[in-house]
Chain A
């Protein structure tokens, strides 16, 4: 935190997720003459960016990074901070528990506000932090009783300003000191998005991102199911960056606790999975066009036959009597299997990880 200096514009760090609320919150304070810079945290679970790049079907849409887009619209700088490693402790051991899925929203907010306040990305610190939180907007983390918890446990205290719902909260330091005018802040409340949309319109914002669930994959039921399955199968609650990336890609099919298949669903995913070929046993169909399949775990030879039959089931040869599948080991040794594609009735629905 920097020293107080009279007549120097105050500096605020705005948490920018790429969504509308944080964009509006930053804009409201920016318009009051405060020097605002954006901070965006990359946890590895963000819905942003790379998932569009992996999946081909996203290619028709512009692959923009929404946080950068917001910064550009607002004319502010944006610092994207890699917190992949530090964030692990938040996901694995959230003091305040999880939301509907494996989303540790309250701990996550506390972590991000604290990080924003203590960021030394610039030689000067920030006087206060801005978030786009709205009381009642999210059942786990954005409630009247969690707002003070975030302020207190992040260490921000009353240097945490929520411009969109400030009128429902006691005045913070920036308001009391006159760095921002409380009368120009808002008292939004609840899940109704109309006030935000009206404010966006008044600022002339359109084409902003409206993520459905939340800002990250941890709110996604299927994704959370795959992560929980990974922890169960390994007998340890842990992950590395590649684990959480692979959970975003392909069909995950676990015929037995000791191995699972990751089957590419289209060309973009196959290309992405191909980057992992040297680390996993992998299968590709030879006689027919088909997916690239990675095997995570310790499959036996019999397991590989079953895996090959599943891979064949997702190839162009799914109705053929026989499909040739190459099994490649990370050591470089390959073998060809000729298998009958698995029938849909044989594929146990319970094997589909994450539903």
Chain B
């Protein structure tokens, strides 16, 4: 059904990694991405400032596309498109 399709780049699934310290947010992201299909978009929310470095580095290493990096008042938000 057309109406139920997600717009391109909209997250298909979410991961709450708030309160976890690095490298746990990356490990949880990696484990979740392993369960997803190519083209799926995962939203990750985390609070450890280390993710600002680790999540983009992890995406580069594995070839996933980082669509969104957002620094919010209390946390950080990423959208990762699985490659």
Contacts and interface: CB of A to CB of B under 8 A. Distances in A.
Interface of A: 42, 46, 48-50, 52-54, 59, 62-65, 67-69, 71-72, 76-82, 121, 245, 275
A68 B61 contact: yes
Contacts of A53: 21-22, 48-50
From B31, B50, B52, B53, residue with most partner A Cβ within 10 Å: B50
Contacts of A79: 30
Contact of A82 (B27, B48, B57, B58): B27
A271 B52 CA distance: 19
Interface size class of B (residues with CB under 8 A): 20 to 34
Contacts of B58: 68, 78
B34 interface: yes
A81 B30 CA distance: 9
Contacts of A59: 49
Interface in B9-62: 19, 21-24, 26-27, 30-31, 34, 48-50, 52-54, 57-58, 60-62
A77 B27 contact: no
Interface of B is mostly: helix
Given A53-B50, A72-B61, A65 B26 contact: yes
A80 B34 CA distance: 12
A49 B61 contact: no
Contacts of B57: 64-65, 68-69, 72
Contact of B53 (A64, A71, A78, A245): A64
Contact of B50 (A63, A69, A81): A63
Contacts, number: 69
21 contacts: A42-B23, A42-B27, A48-B22, A49-B23, A50-B21, A50-B23, A50-B24, A53-B50, A63-B22, A63-B52, A64-B54, A65-B23, A67-B23, A68-B26, A77-B61, A77-B62, A78-B58, A80-B26, A82-B24, A82-B27, A82-B31
Given A65-B57, A80-B23, 12 more contacts: A42-B23, A42-B24, A48-B23, A49-B21, A49-B23, A49-B54, A50-B23, A65-B26, A65-B53, A77-B61, A78-B58, A79-B30
A71 B61 contact: yes
A59 B48 CA distance: 12
B22 A65 contact: yes
Given A65-B57, A79-B30, A82-B27, A50 B50 contact: yes
A275 B19 CA distance: 8
B30 A80 contact: yes
B27 A49 contact: no
B21 A54 contact: yes
B62 to A, nearest CB: 6
Contacts of B24: 42, 50, 82
Contacts of A69: 57
Contacts of A46: 23
Contacts of B53: 62-65
From A65, A78, A79, residue with most partner B Cβ within 10 Å: A65
A326 B83 CA distance: 52
A285 to B, nearest CB: 25
A68 B55 CA distance: 10
A62 B52 CA distance: 10
B46 to A, nearest CB: 11
B23 A63 contact: no
Contacts of B30: 79-80
Contacts of B34: 121
Nearest to A46: B23
A71 B26 CA distance: 14
